[in-house]
Copies of this chain bind each other. A is one copy, B any other.
Amino acid sequence: MELLIPLDSQSKKSLYEQIYGHICREIREGSLTAGERLPSTRMLAEHLKVSRSTTQMAYDQLLAEGYIEARPYRGYFVSQLDGLFDAIPESRQQMRREEPEGEGYLVDFSPRGIDLDSFPYNVWRKISRSTLVDDNREMFHAGSPQGEPGLREAIRGYLHTARGVKCSVEQIIVGAGNEYLLMLLAQILGSQRRIAMENPTYRQAYLVFCSLGYPVFPTEMDENGMNPEQLKASGADVAYVMPSHQFPTGIVMPVGRRQELLRWAEDGPDRYLIEDDYDSEFRYRGKPVPALQGMDRSGRVIYLGTFSKCIAPAIRVSYMVLPPQLVERYQAQAGFYASTVSRIDQNILYQFLSQGYFERHLNRMRAIYKAKHDALLEAASPLETAFQIRGEYAGIHILLTSREGRREEELISLAAEAGVKVYGLSRCDIGAKREMETSTVILGYASLTESQIRMGAELLTSCWI
Protein backbone atom coordinates (compact mmCIF):
# COMPACT_ATOMS: atom_id res chain seq x y z
CA MET A 1 0.00 0.00 0.00
CA GLU A 2 1.28 3.49 -0.88
CA LEU A 3 0.85 6.60 1.29
CA LEU A 4 0.53 9.87 -0.62
CA ILE A 5 1.61 12.46 1.92
CA PRO A 6 1.84 16.07 0.74
CA LEU A 7 4.95 17.54 2.40
CA ASP A 8 5.45 21.30 2.71
CA SER A 9 9.13 22.15 3.19
CA GLN A 10 8.15 25.77 3.93
CA SER A 11 5.84 24.76 6.80
CA LYS A 12 6.75 25.68 10.37
CA LYS A 13 6.05 21.99 11.11
CA SER A 14 8.92 19.54 10.68
CA LEU A 15 8.62 16.81 8.04
CA TYR A 16 8.24 14.17 10.74
CA GLU A 17 5.36 16.11 12.33
CA GLN A 18 3.70 16.44 8.91
CA ILE A 19 3.97 12.69 8.25
CA TYR A 20 2.77 11.89 11.77
CA GLY A 21 -0.13 14.36 11.47
CA HIS A 22 -1.22 13.03 8.07
CA ILE A 23 -1.31 9.38 9.19
CA CYS A 24 -3.11 10.40 12.44
CA ARG A 25 -5.87 12.08 10.45
CA GLU A 26 -6.13 9.18 7.98
CA ILE A 27 -6.61 6.78 10.90
CA ARG A 28 -9.04 8.99 12.85
CA GLU A 29 -11.06 9.73 9.71
CA GLY A 30 -11.11 6.03 8.89
CA SER A 31 -9.26 6.28 5.56
CA LEU A 32 -6.77 3.93 7.18
CA THR A 33 -8.60 1.09 8.95
CA ALA A 34 -7.64 -1.20 11.82
CA GLY A 35 -5.33 -4.05 10.75
CA GLU A 36 -4.21 -2.27 7.59
CA ARG A 37 -0.49 -2.59 6.93
CA LEU A 38 1.71 0.53 6.59
CA PRO A 39 4.75 0.77 4.30
CA SER A 40 8.12 0.17 5.99
CA THR A 41 9.99 3.24 7.23
CA ARG A 42 12.59 2.57 4.51
CA MET A 43 10.00 2.37 1.69
CA LEU A 44 8.14 5.45 2.96
CA ALA A 45 11.40 7.40 3.24
CA GLU A 46 12.41 6.55 -0.35
CA HIS A 47 8.88 7.28 -1.55
CA LEU A 48 8.74 10.71 0.15
CA LYS A 49 12.44 11.53 -0.49
CA VAL A 50 13.12 12.14 3.21
CA SER A 51 15.67 10.60 5.56
CA ARG A 52 14.89 7.25 7.18
CA SER A 53 15.16 8.82 10.65
CA THR A 54 12.28 11.15 9.72
CA THR A 55 9.85 8.36 8.88
CA GLN A 56 11.14 6.39 11.89
CA MET A 57 10.38 9.33 14.23
CA ALA A 58 6.87 9.68 12.76
CA TYR A 59 6.19 5.94 13.21
CA ASP A 60 7.70 5.99 16.73
CA GLN A 61 5.30 8.74 17.75
CA LEU A 62 2.33 6.89 16.17
CA LEU A 63 3.44 3.75 18.05
CA ALA A 64 3.92 5.64 21.32
CA GLU A 65 0.42 7.07 21.02
CA GLY A 66 -1.06 3.72 20.02
CA TYR A 67 -2.31 4.64 16.55
CA ILE A 68 -0.25 1.83 15.03
CA GLU A 69 1.39 -1.33 16.30
CA ALA A 70 4.56 -3.15 15.26
CA ARG A 71 4.39 -6.92 14.55
CA PRO A 72 7.78 -8.66 14.64
CA TYR A 73 9.04 -9.65 11.14
CA ARG A 74 5.76 -8.39 9.61
CA GLY A 75 5.82 -4.59 9.91
CA TYR A 76 3.54 -1.79 11.10
CA PHE A 77 -0.25 -2.11 11.26
CA VAL A 78 -3.09 0.30 12.11
CA SER A 79 -4.40 -0.37 15.65
CA GLN A 80 -7.94 -0.82 16.92
CA LEU A 81 -8.70 2.66 18.27
CA ASP A 82 -10.94 1.54 21.17
CA GLY A 83 -9.72 2.76 24.55
CA LEU A 84 -7.28 5.15 22.97
CA PHE A 85 -9.49 8.13 23.46
CA ASP A 86 -7.45 9.54 26.37
CA ALA A 87 -4.39 9.74 24.21
CA ILE A 88 -5.90 11.30 21.10
CA PRO A 89 -7.26 14.60 22.41
CA GLU A 90 -4.00 15.13 24.32
CA SER A 91 -1.87 14.57 21.24
CA ARG A 92 -4.18 16.82 19.17
CA GLN A 93 -4.00 19.49 21.87
CA GLN A 94 -0.20 19.16 22.01
CA MET A 95 0.11 19.52 18.26
CA ARG A 96 -2.04 22.62 18.46
CA ARG A 97 0.01 24.03 21.28
CA GLU A 98 3.16 23.66 19.22
CA GLU A 99 1.67 25.51 16.25
CA PRO A 100 2.52 29.22 16.24
CA GLU A 101 -0.38 31.48 17.25
CA GLY A 102 -0.54 32.89 13.73
CA GLU A 103 -1.28 29.58 11.96
CA GLY A 104 -3.55 30.26 8.99
CA TYR A 105 -2.32 33.84 8.43
CA LEU A 106 -0.35 34.95 5.38
CA VAL A 107 2.01 36.94 7.60
CA ASP A 108 2.35 36.67 11.39
CA PHE A 109 4.17 39.62 13.01
CA SER A 110 4.66 37.64 16.23
CA PRO A 111 6.88 39.46 18.75
CA ARG A 112 7.81 36.07 20.22
CA GLY A 113 9.27 34.50 17.08
CA ILE A 114 13.00 34.36 16.36
CA ASP A 115 14.97 33.53 13.18
CA LEU A 116 16.19 29.94 13.33
CA ASP A 117 17.03 29.52 9.63
CA SER A 118 20.45 31.03 10.27
CA PHE A 119 21.25 28.88 13.30
CA PRO A 120 24.64 27.14 12.85
CA TYR A 121 23.21 23.62 13.09
CA ASN A 122 26.37 21.98 11.77
CA VAL A 123 28.58 23.66 14.37
CA TRP A 124 26.12 22.70 17.09
CA ARG A 125 26.10 19.07 15.91
CA LYS A 126 29.90 19.04 15.68
CA ILE A 127 30.29 20.40 19.22
CA SER A 128 27.62 18.02 20.56
CA ARG A 129 29.53 15.08 19.14
CA SER A 130 32.87 16.25 20.54
CA THR A 131 31.27 16.81 23.97
CA LEU A 132 30.12 13.19 23.99
CA VAL A 133 33.50 11.71 23.09
CA ASP A 134 34.46 8.54 24.88
CA ASP A 135 36.96 9.96 27.37
CA ASN A 136 34.46 12.56 28.52
CA ARG A 137 32.27 10.47 30.79
CA GLU A 138 32.35 12.83 33.74
CA MET A 139 29.76 14.83 31.77
CA PHE A 140 27.25 12.27 33.10
CA HIS A 141 28.19 12.85 36.76
CA ALA A 142 26.43 15.61 38.69
CA GLY A 143 28.12 19.00 38.25
CA SER A 144 28.37 22.26 40.18
CA PRO A 145 25.05 23.72 41.45
CA GLN A 146 25.84 27.20 40.11
CA GLY A 147 26.80 25.86 36.69
CA GLU A 148 30.02 24.63 35.07
CA PRO A 149 32.98 26.91 35.94
CA GLY A 150 34.11 27.05 32.30
CA LEU A 151 30.68 28.13 31.06
CA ARG A 152 30.33 30.76 33.77
CA GLU A 153 33.77 32.14 32.95
CA ALA A 154 32.77 32.33 29.27
CA ILE A 155 29.54 34.14 30.23
CA ARG A 156 31.51 36.50 32.50
CA GLY A 157 33.86 37.34 29.65
CA TYR A 158 30.99 37.96 27.24
CA LEU A 159 29.03 40.13 29.71
CA HIS A 160 32.16 42.13 30.52
CA THR A 161 33.12 42.98 26.95
CA ALA A 162 29.68 43.12 25.30
CA ARG A 163 27.52 44.51 28.12
CA GLY A 164 29.91 46.24 30.54
CA VAL A 165 28.73 43.94 33.36
CA LYS A 166 31.22 43.86 36.25
CA CYS A 167 31.22 40.56 38.14
CA SER A 168 33.25 37.50 39.10
CA VAL A 169 32.27 33.94 38.17
CA GLU A 170 31.16 33.37 41.78
CA GLN A 171 28.31 35.86 41.19
CA ILE A 172 26.92 33.98 38.16
CA ILE A 173 24.21 31.32 38.46
CA VAL A 174 23.23 29.30 35.39
CA GLY A 175 19.64 27.98 35.29
CA ALA A 176 16.99 26.45 33.02
CA GLY A 177 15.30 29.68 31.89
CA ASN A 178 14.53 33.08 33.41
CA GLU A 179 11.34 31.78 35.04
CA TYR A 180 13.30 29.20 37.03
CA LEU A 181 15.91 31.80 37.99
CA LEU A 182 13.14 34.11 39.27
CA MET A 183 11.79 31.18 41.35
CA LEU A 184 15.29 30.69 42.77
CA LEU A 185 15.69 34.43 43.33
CA ALA A 186 12.40 34.45 45.27
CA GLN A 187 13.98 32.04 47.77
CA ILE A 188 16.98 34.35 48.12
CA LEU A 189 14.95 37.58 48.47
CA GLY A 190 12.29 36.01 50.71
CA SER A 191 8.50 36.23 50.54
CA GLN A 192 8.12 39.68 52.17
CA ARG A 193 8.74 41.69 49.00
CA ARG A 194 6.79 44.25 47.01
CA ILE A 195 7.63 44.27 43.30
CA ALA A 196 7.33 47.31 41.02
CA MET A 197 7.11 46.65 37.26
CA GLU A 198 7.04 48.96 34.25
CA ASN A 199 3.57 49.11 32.70
CA PRO A 200 3.24 47.80 30.01
CA THR A 201 5.82 45.04 30.55
CA TYR A 202 6.92 41.49 29.79
CA ARG A 203 3.79 39.60 30.83
CA GLN A 204 5.52 36.28 31.54
CA ALA A 205 7.64 37.85 34.32
CA TYR A 206 4.50 39.47 35.74
CA LEU A 207 2.77 36.06 35.89
CA VAL A 208 5.81 34.53 37.63
CA PHE A 209 5.83 37.20 40.36
CA CYS A 210 2.08 36.79 40.86
CA SER A 211 2.26 32.99 41.05
CA LEU A 212 5.10 33.39 43.59
CA GLY A 213 2.63 35.34 45.71
CA TYR A 214 4.26 38.78 45.49
CA PRO A 215 2.19 41.96 45.34
CA VAL A 216 3.07 43.64 42.01
CA PHE A 217 2.77 47.42 41.50
CA PRO A 218 2.35 48.48 37.86
CA THR A 219 4.36 51.70 37.46
CA GLU A 220 3.79 54.27 34.72
CA MET A 221 6.57 55.21 32.30
CA ASP A 222 7.47 58.50 30.68
CA GLU A 223 9.71 58.75 27.60
CA ASN A 224 12.72 57.87 29.81
CA GLY A 225 11.21 54.75 31.33
CA MET A 226 9.94 53.90 34.82
CA ASN A 227 8.72 56.97 36.73
CA PRO A 228 10.87 57.27 39.90
CA GLU A 229 8.22 59.27 41.81
CA GLN A 230 5.66 56.53 41.24
CA LEU A 231 8.27 53.93 42.18
CA LYS A 232 8.90 55.68 45.52
CA ALA A 233 5.16 56.11 46.08
CA SER A 234 4.50 52.41 45.42
CA GLY A 235 6.39 51.36 48.54
CA ALA A 236 8.04 48.57 46.53
CA ASP A 237 11.49 47.30 47.55
CA VAL A 238 12.25 45.47 44.30
CA ALA A 239 11.89 47.00 40.81
CA TYR A 240 11.95 44.88 37.63
CA VAL A 241 13.19 46.95 34.67
CA MET A 242 14.46 46.52 31.10
CA PRO A 243 16.71 49.61 30.70
CA SER A 244 18.50 48.69 27.45
CA HIS A 245 15.34 48.14 25.40
CA GLN A 246 12.12 48.03 27.36
CA PHE A 247 9.59 45.39 26.30
CA PRO A 248 7.24 46.23 24.67
CA THR A 249 7.68 50.02 24.37
CA GLY A 250 11.30 49.89 23.15
CA ILE A 251 12.25 52.79 25.44
CA VAL A 252 16.00 53.05 26.13
CA MET A 253 16.54 54.39 29.65
CA PRO A 254 18.99 57.33 29.63
CA VAL A 255 21.86 57.56 32.13
CA GLY A 256 20.08 60.20 34.25
CA ARG A 257 17.07 57.97 34.87
CA ARG A 258 19.33 55.00 35.56
CA GLN A 259 21.08 57.03 38.25
CA GLU A 260 17.73 58.02 39.75
CA LEU A 261 16.73 54.36 39.99
CA LEU A 262 20.09 53.39 41.51
CA ARG A 263 19.68 56.19 44.08
CA TRP A 264 16.21 54.86 44.91
CA ALA A 265 17.73 51.40 45.51
CA GLU A 266 20.52 52.86 47.69
CA ASP A 267 17.99 54.84 49.76
CA GLY A 268 16.52 51.66 51.27
CA PRO A 269 18.32 49.07 53.40
CA ASP A 270 17.54 46.04 51.23
CA ARG A 271 16.24 47.35 47.90
CA TYR A 272 17.11 45.79 44.54
CA LEU A 273 16.73 46.44 40.82
CA ILE A 274 16.20 43.38 38.63
CA GLU A 275 17.65 44.23 35.20
CA ASP A 276 16.24 41.94 32.48
CA ASP A 277 18.63 42.42 29.55
CA TYR A 278 16.58 40.12 27.27
CA ASP A 279 17.47 41.35 23.75
CA SER A 280 20.22 43.95 24.16
CA GLU A 281 22.39 42.04 21.66
CA PHE A 282 20.42 43.65 18.86
CA ARG A 283 21.01 47.38 18.23
CA TYR A 284 21.10 48.89 14.75
CA ARG A 285 22.05 52.54 15.34
CA GLY A 286 24.43 54.35 17.67
CA LYS A 287 26.68 52.85 20.32
CA PRO A 288 25.46 49.79 22.24
CA VAL A 289 23.91 50.81 25.57
CA PRO A 290 25.87 49.21 28.42
CA ALA A 291 23.96 47.38 31.13
CA LEU A 292 22.67 49.21 34.21
CA GLN A 293 24.59 46.65 36.30
CA GLY A 294 27.88 48.25 35.20
CA MET A 295 26.89 51.55 36.87
CA ASP A 296 25.99 49.87 40.16
CA ARG A 297 28.52 50.72 42.89
CA SER A 298 26.56 49.44 45.90
CA GLY A 299 25.47 45.94 44.87
CA ARG A 300 21.81 46.73 44.19
CA VAL A 301 21.40 45.31 40.68
CA ILE A 302 20.43 41.70 39.91
CA TYR A 303 21.21 41.07 36.24
CA LEU A 304 19.22 38.54 34.15
CA GLY A 305 20.21 37.28 30.70
CA THR A 306 19.12 34.41 28.45
CA PHE A 307 20.33 32.41 25.44
CA SER A 308 16.74 31.66 24.34
CA LYS A 309 16.47 34.78 22.17
CA CYS A 310 20.00 34.96 20.79
CA ILE A 311 20.55 31.22 20.23
CA ALA A 312 17.28 29.22 20.33
CA PRO A 313 14.19 28.98 22.55
CA ALA A 314 14.71 25.23 23.03
CA ILE A 315 18.15 25.88 24.57
CA ARG A 316 16.85 26.27 28.12
CA VAL A 317 19.80 28.21 29.50
CA SER A 318 19.63 31.57 31.27
CA TYR A 319 21.95 33.21 33.78
CA MET A 320 21.65 35.53 36.74
CA VAL A 321 24.37 37.81 38.14
CA LEU A 322 23.88 38.41 41.87
CA PRO A 323 25.47 41.24 43.88
CA PRO A 324 28.04 39.89 46.39
CA GLN A 325 25.82 40.09 49.48
CA LEU A 326 23.09 38.09 47.69
CA VAL A 327 25.66 35.46 46.67
CA GLU A 328 26.17 34.81 50.39
CA ARG A 329 22.41 34.51 50.92
CA TYR A 330 22.16 32.23 47.88
CA GLN A 331 24.84 29.91 49.23
CA ALA A 332 23.25 29.85 52.68
CA GLN A 333 19.58 29.50 51.64
CA ALA A 334 19.54 27.94 48.17
CA GLY A 335 23.07 26.66 47.51
CA PHE A 336 21.88 23.06 47.93
CA TYR A 337 19.73 23.15 44.78
CA ALA A 338 21.34 21.06 42.05
CA SER A 339 21.78 22.77 38.68
CA THR A 340 18.72 22.58 36.43
CA VAL A 341 20.78 22.44 33.22
CA SER A 342 22.23 19.17 31.95
CA ARG A 343 26.01 19.22 32.27
CA ILE A 344 26.30 18.01 28.69
CA ASP A 345 24.30 21.00 27.44
CA GLN A 346 26.35 23.38 29.58
CA ASN A 347 29.50 22.07 27.99
CA ILE A 348 28.10 22.27 24.46
CA LEU A 349 27.25 25.91 25.18
CA TYR A 350 30.66 26.47 26.79
CA GLN A 351 32.38 25.23 23.62
CA PHE A 352 30.03 27.35 21.49
CA LEU A 353 31.01 30.48 23.45
CA SER A 354 34.70 29.83 24.10
CA GLN A 355 35.47 28.79 20.51
CA GLY A 356 34.07 32.10 19.23
CA TYR A 357 30.99 30.66 17.50
CA PHE A 358 28.61 32.64 19.70
CA GLU A 359 30.17 36.00 18.81
CA ARG A 360 30.13 35.11 15.10
CA HIS A 361 26.50 33.98 15.40
CA LEU A 362 25.51 37.23 17.15
CA ASN A 363 27.21 39.37 14.50
CA ARG A 364 25.45 37.37 11.79
CA MET A 365 22.05 37.65 13.50
CA ARG A 366 22.55 41.36 14.12
CA ALA A 367 23.08 41.88 10.38
CA ILE A 368 20.10 39.67 9.48
CA TYR A 369 17.76 41.35 11.96
CA LYS A 370 18.95 44.81 10.90
CA ALA A 371 18.12 43.96 7.27
CA LYS A 372 14.65 42.79 8.33
CA HIS A 373 14.23 45.88 10.52
CA ASP A 374 15.22 48.18 7.63
CA ALA A 375 12.93 46.31 5.22
CA LEU A 376 10.00 46.76 7.64
CA LEU A 377 10.66 50.49 8.22
CA GLU A 378 10.95 51.08 4.47
CA ALA A 379 7.85 49.07 3.58
CA ALA A 380 5.91 50.66 6.46
CA SER A 381 6.75 54.26 5.49
CA PRO A 382 3.40 54.79 3.70
CA LEU A 383 1.82 54.12 7.12
CA GLU A 384 3.67 57.01 8.78
CA THR A 385 1.07 59.61 7.84
CA ALA A 386 -1.46 57.78 9.99
CA PHE A 387 0.79 55.96 12.47
CA GLN A 388 3.68 56.90 14.74
CA ILE A 389 6.47 54.28 14.65
CA ARG A 390 8.27 53.65 17.96
CA GLY A 391 10.84 51.22 19.41
CA GLU A 392 12.83 51.02 16.17
CA TYR A 393 16.64 50.67 15.72
CA ALA A 394 16.85 47.91 18.37
CA GLY A 395 15.41 44.52 19.31
CA ILE A 396 13.18 42.47 17.02
CA HIS A 397 9.87 44.34 17.07
CA ILE A 398 8.44 47.85 16.55
CA LEU A 399 5.27 49.63 17.69
CA LEU A 400 2.72 51.40 15.53
CA THR A 401 0.44 53.95 17.24
CA SER A 402 -2.52 55.37 15.35
CA ARG A 403 -2.28 59.17 15.17
CA GLU A 404 -6.08 59.31 14.90
CA GLY A 405 -6.48 57.19 18.03
CA ARG A 406 -8.04 54.27 16.14
CA ARG A 407 -8.67 51.37 18.52
CA GLU A 408 -6.29 48.44 18.71
CA GLU A 409 -9.16 45.94 18.27
CA GLU A 410 -10.21 47.60 14.99
CA LEU A 411 -6.62 47.55 13.65
CA ILE A 412 -6.17 43.89 14.62
CA SER A 413 -9.40 42.73 12.99
CA LEU A 414 -8.84 44.74 9.79
CA ALA A 415 -5.34 43.20 9.57
CA ALA A 416 -6.77 39.73 10.22
CA GLU A 417 -9.23 40.15 7.32
CA ALA A 418 -6.21 40.98 5.15
CA GLY A 419 -4.47 37.80 6.41
CA VAL A 420 -1.96 39.58 8.66
CA LYS A 421 -1.61 38.90 12.39
CA VAL A 422 -0.58 41.86 14.53
CA TYR A 423 -0.60 42.05 18.31
CA GLY A 424 -2.26 44.65 20.56
CA LEU A 425 -0.05 46.49 23.02
CA SER A 426 -2.72 46.00 25.69
CA ARG A 427 -1.74 42.30 25.97
CA CYS A 428 1.36 43.58 27.79
CA ASP A 429 -0.72 45.76 30.09
CA ILE A 430 -0.63 44.85 33.78
CA GLY A 431 -2.56 47.84 35.15
CA ALA A 432 -5.45 50.06 34.11
CA LYS A 433 -5.60 50.60 30.32
CA ARG A 434 -4.15 53.90 29.11
CA GLU A 435 -4.98 55.73 25.92
CA MET A 436 -1.61 54.92 24.32
CA GLU A 437 -2.25 51.19 24.67
CA THR A 438 -5.71 51.31 23.17
CA SER A 439 -4.41 52.44 19.75
CA THR A 440 -1.03 50.70 19.44
CA VAL A 441 -0.06 47.40 17.82
CA ILE A 442 3.19 45.40 18.05
CA LEU A 443 4.94 44.11 14.93
CA GLY A 444 7.63 41.47 15.52
CA TYR A 445 9.72 40.62 12.46
CA ALA A 446 12.42 38.16 13.61
CA SER A 447 10.81 34.98 12.25
CA LEU A 448 9.69 36.49 8.92
CA THR A 449 11.61 36.69 5.63
CA GLU A 450 12.20 40.14 4.15
CA SER A 451 9.64 39.43 1.38
CA GLN A 452 7.06 38.31 3.97
CA ILE A 453 7.77 41.54 5.86
CA ARG A 454 7.23 43.63 2.72
CA MET A 455 4.05 41.75 1.83
CA GLY A 456 2.80 42.17 5.40
CA ALA A 457 3.47 45.90 5.44
CA GLU A 458 1.78 46.36 2.04
CA LEU A 459 -1.29 44.43 3.20
CA LEU A 460 -1.45 46.56 6.35
CA THR A 461 -1.18 49.76 4.30
CA SER A 462 -3.98 48.61 2.01
CA CYS A 463 -6.33 47.74 4.89
CA TRP A 464 -5.47 50.55 7.33
CA ILE A 465 -5.01 53.59 5.07
Which A residues form the contact surface with B (CB < 8 A)?
12-17, 50-51, 53-54, 57, 60-61, 63-65, 86-87, 90-91, 94-95, 97-98, 116, 119, 121, 124-125, 128-130, 132-145, 149-150, 153-154, 157, 168-170, 176-177, 179-180, 183, 187, 191, 204, 207-208, 211-213, 308, 312-316, 333-334, 336-345, 350-351, 354-355
Using A140-B315, A170-B90 as known contacts, say yes or no to A121 and B134 having CB atoms under 8 A apart: yes
B340 touches A133 (CB 8 A): no
A149 touches B91 (CB 8 A): yes
Which of B154, B314, B334, B344 has a CB less than 8 Å from the CB of A343? B314
B149 touches A90 (CB 8 A): yes
Complex formed: what's the CA distance from A204 to B337 in Å? Answer: 8
Contacts of A169 in B (CB 8 A): 86-87, 90-91
Contacts of A176 in B (CB 8 A): 176, 180, 316, 340-341
Complex formed: what's the CA distance from A130 to B51 in Å? Answer: 10
A116 touches B87 (CB 8 A): no
Complex formed: what's the CA distance from A211 to B332 in Å? Answer: 10
Complex formed: what's the CA distance from A90 to B170 in Å? Answer: 7
A143 touches B342 (CB 8 A): no
A61 touches B342 (CB 8 A): no
Complex formed: what's the CA distance from A213 to B213 in Å? Answer: 12
Contacts of A97 in B (CB 8 A): 144-145
How near does chain B come to A45, taking the closest CB pair, in angstroms? Answer: 11
Which of B132, B308, B351 has a CB less than 8 Å from the CB of A125? B132
B338 touches A179 (CB 8 A): yes
Complex formed: what's the CA distance from A211 to B170 in Å? Answer: 21
Chain A: interface secondary structure?
helix
Complex formed: what's the CA distance from A13 to B132 in Å? Answer: 16
Beyond the given pairs A12-B141, A60-B351, A142-B314, 20 more chain A to chain B contacts, judged by CB atoms under 8 angstroms and listed by A's residue number, are: A15-B135, A16-B135, A53-B130, A60-B150, A60-B355, A64-B354, A90-B169, A91-B169, A95-B149, A97-B144, A97-B145, A98-B141, A119-B140, A139-B314, A141-B312, A176-B176, A176-B316, A177-B338, A187-B211, A211-B333
A168 touches B86 (CB 8 A): yes
B142 touches A116 (CB 8 A): no
Contacts of A308 in B (CB 8 A): 142
A90 touches B168 (CB 8 A): yes
Contacts of A98 in B (CB 8 A): 138, 141, 143-144
Pairs A–B under 8 Å by Cβ, sample size 20: A14-B137, A16-B136, A53-B130, A54-B136, A57-B136, A61-B149, A64-B153, A65-B153, A90-B168, A90-B169, A142-B314, A176-B340, A176-B341, A180-B180, A180-B340, A183-B183, A187-B211, A207-B336, A314-B342, A316-B339
B154 touches A64 (CB 8 A): yes
Contacts of A135 in B (CB 8 A): 14-16, 50-51, 54
Which residue on chain B has the smallest CB distance to residue A313? B142
**Chain A to chain B: the 6 pairs with minimum beta-carbon distance, closest first:** A176-B340, A142-B313, A140-B312, A314-B343, A94-B149, A14-B138
